[in-house]
A = this chain, B = another copy of it.
């Protein structure tokens, strides 16, 4: 994974005990997670003459993550797509604070206007994700466009970024626990500081940790910030398996705690 050369790596305190491998979401998984979490994007198309044109759109993703747009040919971006199918969208996680600290992904490719049942399927994917969109679908000047994704560039905030291939993106799954993560982090830090500390000590490579704070959680594991007499550091502990259900973080965390208690 490439990293931002302007940032010193986070703390970087070396573990002093073995740490089990703790997988992270792949860049493709990160991209899919962002794309499936919202319905708003900024669209880049080509105006007459080939100039780039930025606009706002709503979208709904197909099962392979291709965003489906519904735009009017009366609007510049609609005319642009009809003239030249090349397009990209940038989608962010809408986290508060500095935009450059947000997770975001650019999907670039070509827009296709499907016909027949493919259009019906695409339109349904759009309307399922955009309340009220069916109102516009009835107007004759609106076109359903599927952005066939050819390039994927994910930025996870400061210092985390990578590309994914179109195949990796199409095959990846959105993290089903993404919506539950913020609540889980708060709950763990508020009510289970002892369990987090035990995880850092027994599984995270810092047996001398005196404090551990959950900074992130996802279907694969938990990121911890640890305080030790040697300084501050970060570590990650992995779940026994990847969580497959939106409500699965609790069971996975309980299993992790049990494992830490040994």
Max chain B CB contacts within 10 Å: which of A74, A98, A99, A153? A99
Q: Quick one: which of B44, B58, B74 contacts A52, CB cutoff 8 A?
A: B44
CA distance A170 to B11 in the complex (A): 46
CA distance A54 to B54 in the complex (A): 7
Q: Quick one: which of B86, B89, B90, B100 contacts A51, CB cutoff 8 A?
A: B86
CA distance A255 to B55 in the complex (A): 40
> Using Cβ atoms and an 8 Å threshold, which residues of chain B touch A87?
52
Max chain B CB contacts within 10 Å: which of A52, A56, A74? A52
A86 touches B56 (CB 8 A): no
> Using Cβ atoms and an 8 Å threshold, which residues of chain B touch A88?
51-54
- Of residues 219 through 240 on chain A, the ones whose CB sits less than 8 Å from some CB of chain B are none
Chain A interface residue count, Cβ-Cβ cutoff 8 angstroms: 42
How many protomers of this protein does the assembly include? Answer: 2
> Using Cβ atoms and an 8 Å threshold, which residues of chain B touch A139?
6
CB distance from A163 to the nearest CB of B (A): 10
A241 at the interface (CB under 8 A from B): no
A56 touches B90 (CB 8 A): yes
A249 at the interface (CB under 8 A from B): no
Which residues of A line the B interface, CB within 8 A?
Answer: 5-6, 39-47, 50-58, 72, 74, 76, 86-90, 92, 98-100, 102, 104, 106, 108, 131-132, 136, 139, 141, 153
A-B contact pairs, 22 of them (CB 8 A): A6-B72, A42-B54, A42-B90, A44-B44, A44-B52, A44-B53, A45-B52, A47-B108, A52-B108, A53-B88, A53-B108, A54-B54, A54-B88, A54-B89, A54-B108, A55-B90, A55-B106, A56-B92, A56-B104, A57-B99, A58-B99, A98-B131
